[in-house]
Structure 1
Amino acid sequence: MDVKLKTVEPFTVAGLQVRTRNTDEQQPDTARIGPMWQRFFNEGLFDTIPARQSESFVYGVYSNYESDATGHFDVTAGVQVDATSAGHPAVDIEGGDYLMFAAKGPMPDCVIQTWGLIWAYFADNPQTLRRFTTDFEVYSSPDSVAIYIGIQSPDERSSASNWRLRSTPQR
């Protein structure tokens, strides 16, 4: 799998949105992401969301994390927009450092397998910390996805360490 460090500028995605958690997505009767994507494509939202940037790809955005990979989070299926509009929830992608995991293959299996590899990557690389603010998938073709995972920059890690040191009672 191809993994690269990328710096991303902020941008906005609008479309459909659901709130879920990973344990719910493992059960067909509680899964919400698949039905959201079906609705997105069945209703032709790629072409009808107002203010869509003409060069936009299809995006899947993970945001508003309750805690980490075990808590609730929002998922938005949408397009990059210049302005928000009523009826299409929008989410702002935070600028910053992201690890990009690129993959090709039949969807949705390719995305599901790549997320498994992403979780394994972070388990095997504990020095790299996720931000759990915004993560996103970019679908540039029917069989190609790039998944961007927000990571803490060295400055953010340093600030977090300093805060922990300041908040630790002195003996």
Structure 2
Amino acid sequence: MDVKLREVQPFSVSGLQVRTCNADEQQADSARIGPMWERFFVEGLFDSIGHRQSDSFIYGVYSNYESDASGHFDVTAGVAVGEGNADYPLVQVQGGEYLAFSAKGPMPDVVIQTWGLVWAYFEDNPQVRRRFATDFEVYTGPESVSLYIGIQASDELSRSSN
């Protein structure tokens, strides 16, 4: 797995949205993220969401955090858009510093494994603090994903990444 510090400019994503928490996602009867993604692909929403930017990837955006990784948050499965539309919720991805964790492999297993590595990274590196504002997954190919985790600005991290 590859981890890089990236500066991200703000952008907008529109698509399906659910509110959940990590504890609910551990139980099949309360998990909401998997069914949302299934609907996204079954209904072919990549091509039907209005105002989609022509060069958009598929995004999974985590936003509206109640607190930290233990609280509720929104997840949006969608595409980058130039403006909102009435059919789907719009979420603004905040600009700023993000750690990008890139991985390749069969979906959705590689995404689940990479989230495990993200949690382990922050546990092993307490000096790097998550913002819990917006985080996102970008699907750059059928077996390629990058997880962007918003972090608080850190001079120490910036020096060590150069």
Paired residue for 1:102? 102
SS at match of 1:41: helix
The corresponding residue for 1:164 is none
Distance 2:87 2:34 in 1: 20
User: TM-score, normalization: structure 2?
Assistant: 0.95
2:8 aligns to what?
Answer: 8
TM-score (norm 1): 0.90
**Is residue 117 of structure 2 the alignment partner of residue 117 of structure 1?**
yes
CA contact (8 A) 2:128 2:154 kept: no
Shift of 1:154: 2.9
Corresponding position of 1:53: 53
CA distance in 2, matches of 1:16, 1:2: 29
Q: Which runs of 5+ in 1 are unaligned?
A: 156-171
Spell out the pairing of 1:21-170 with structure 2 (5 A cutoff): 21-154=21-154
Runs of 4+ in 1 over 3 A off after TM superposition: none
Structure 2 residue identity aligned to 1:15:
G
| Counterpart Cα distance in 2 of 1:154 and 1:112 | 27
Post-superposition shift, 1:87?
1.6
Q: In the alignment, is the contact (CA less than 8 A) between 2:14 and 2:76 conserved in 1?
A: yes
- Give the number of aligned pairs: 155
Shift of 1:60: 0.2
Name the CA distance, whole Å, in 1 between partners of 2:75 and 2:154: 27
RMSD (Å) for aligned C-alpha atoms: 0.7
Alignment match, 2:158:
none
Task: For residue 6 of structure 2, give the secondary structure of its aligned residue in structure 1.
Answer: strand
Task: Please identify the structure whose Cα radius of gyration is greater.
Answer: 1
3-state DSSP of counterpart to 1:66: coil
d(CA) in 1 for partners of 2:107 and 2:148?
Answer: 17
Alpha-carbon separation, structure 1, partners of 2:69 and 2:141: 27
